[in-house]
Amino acid sequence: MVKVSATSFTEATAQDWEVAVANGRRHYVANAGVAALNLLKSQKDEPGLSWQVNNYEHSLSAATKALRNGEDEEYVVAVLLHDLAQDLDPMRHDRVAGTLLKPFLNSANHWMVANHQVFQLSFRVNSKFDTKKVETFRGHPYFEHTMRFCDLYDQSCFDPRAERLPIETFEPMVRRIFGRVQEQRMGSYP
């Protein structure tokens, strides 16, 4: 990759900016989604805390189930990445994931990812958690969409015997979902 000789923005020439912007545009489009995948992959060898699967395995198990159930590609990607921020901020990992994924998902899938923590509380039988907290969201247009996700692809995906397709199965999907948006956005990169 051609590099500019300027060592600060103020000394960069118009030609330097042409080179830098073209390089950036190519890189961001070619690598769309890779950073999100890397964040998920960073959890690969973590211990499973109290559960029999770790968060990485939970995510693959959930995405595999969504794929097998015939969910569309964007939805499968949302399922795969819904917990990618678990270690960054466990108590707000849904919000953080929602912020990261917002540009790449439709509004229903974005809202689902960004709010799933309260919804999955509903399934915590025999716990001291407030299982009724979700009621504050009742009536929201994406209530059922998010509840369905938490039932089918979150609370029920901690079984170590469940099928887990390898991450390589999902990588092209993530790249496509991120890539379609990144390409558009890069069009306005100055």
If one asks whether residue 154 binds Fe ion (CB under 5 A), the answer comes out as yes
Q: Are 40 and 65 in contact (CB under 8 A)?
A: no
Binding-site member from 36, 83, 84, 112 for Fe ion (CB under 5 A)? 83
If one asks whether residue 57 binds Fe ion (CB under 5 A), the answer comes out as no
Residue with Cβ nearer Fe ion (83 or 182): 83
Q: Are 58 and 83 in contact (CB under 8 A)?
A: yes
Residue with Cβ nearer Fe ion (57 or 154): 154
If one asks whether residue 71 binds Fe ion (CB under 5 A), the answer comes out as no
Q: How far apart, in whole angstroms, are the C-alpha atoms of residue 35 and residue 147?
A: 28
131-to-9, 121, 177 alpha-carbon distances in Å: 53, 5, 33
Residue with Cβ nearer Fe ion (32 or 62): 62
Q: Which stretch binds Fe ion (CB under 5 A): 133-141, 152-160, 171-179, 181-189?
A: 152-160
Burial 16-40 (b: 16+ CB within 10 A, else e): beebbeeeebeebbeebbeebbebb
Residue with Cβ nearer Fe ion (19 or 162): 162
What residues line the site for Fe ion (CB under 5 A)? Answer: 83, 154
